[in-house]
Amino acid sequence: MTDARTAILGRLKAADAGATTSVPSEDFTTVLGRGWSAEERLARLRRNMEAVHTEFLDARGADWVRAVHAWLVEQNLANLLYAPETPVGRRLGQSWPGLGPNLVPYERPMAEWKSGLFQGISAGISGTRGGIAATGTLILWTDADEPRTLSLIPPVHIAVLEVDRLYDTMLQAMRDQNWAAAMPTNLVFVSGPSKTADIEQTLAYGVHGPKRVLVVLT
């Protein structure tokens, strides 16, 4: 008895023989760079993200760690989950003020403290590998140092974005950073807080992903 794989591939190969399909050539111009300046990229990213309720904290020329701390105090958020082994994490670890919200390092596997993660964390902070101006999108590269759930489970997601790491389009970012050479287990593109329009096509925010997204510009 032939297994499904053999049967399926067999049928596909038999059908393929003699088929003449002309595949059109590809012109990527329309999805490549738009020639935007750095200012324009930032302006577009910000406009696109704010249109879907993303919040921004401009910490350029300032100490972003202090800025984030102050924001958490102002928002009455009790703690901040972070990834200690990342550049963002190391900065946080070094200069986090003693008083106010606690820094909680994401050090153990999720399975060991799942309920703590789901119930006890007010906000999570992650780095980014840049942003995409055309759509207002953050590039999140998760790995052993920066877990996936850091930017997913806590109700508030804070993302540190370097303004000189912006791209016009996704394809531009993909080529520049050469993703195809080595993909992470999870490459996530975040364009704002979670939302839905499933109830009478009315937009509602804060479904299953973070309810709020704060982009810290550095």
Residues 6+ apart with CB under 8 A from 88: 82, 125, 126, 127, 160
Q: Per CB under 8 A, does 154 bind another protein?
A: no
Q: Which residue number, 59 or 92, has a Cβ lying nearer to another protein? A: 92
Does position 1 bind another protein by CB under 8 A? no
Contact 192, 53 (CB under 8 A): yes
- Compute the least distance from the CB of residue 197 to another protein, in Å: 7
Please state, in angstroms and rounded to a whole number, the distance separating the CA atoms of residues 42 and 97: 29
Binding segment for another protein (CB under 8 A), chosen from 19-27, 69-77, 90-98, 121-129, is 19-27
Q: Does 143 bind another protein (CB under 8 A)?
A: yes
In the shown chain, the binding pattern of residues 65 to 84 toward another protein, with x for contact by CB under 8 A and - for none, equals --------------------
Q: Does 122 bind another protein (CB under 8 A)?
A: no
Q: Interface with another protein includes 58 (CB under 8 A)?
A: no
Quick check: 94 binds another protein (CB under 8 A)? no
Pairing of strands 186-190, 137-142: antiparallel
Question: Residue 118, interface with another protein (CB under 8 A)?
Answer: yes
Q: Binding residues for another protein, how many (CB under 8 A)? A: 80
Contact call for residue 7 and another protein (CB under 8 A): yes
Site string for another protein, 27-56 (x = CB under 8 A): xxxxx----------------x---x----
Calpha distance 69→92 (Å, rounded):
10
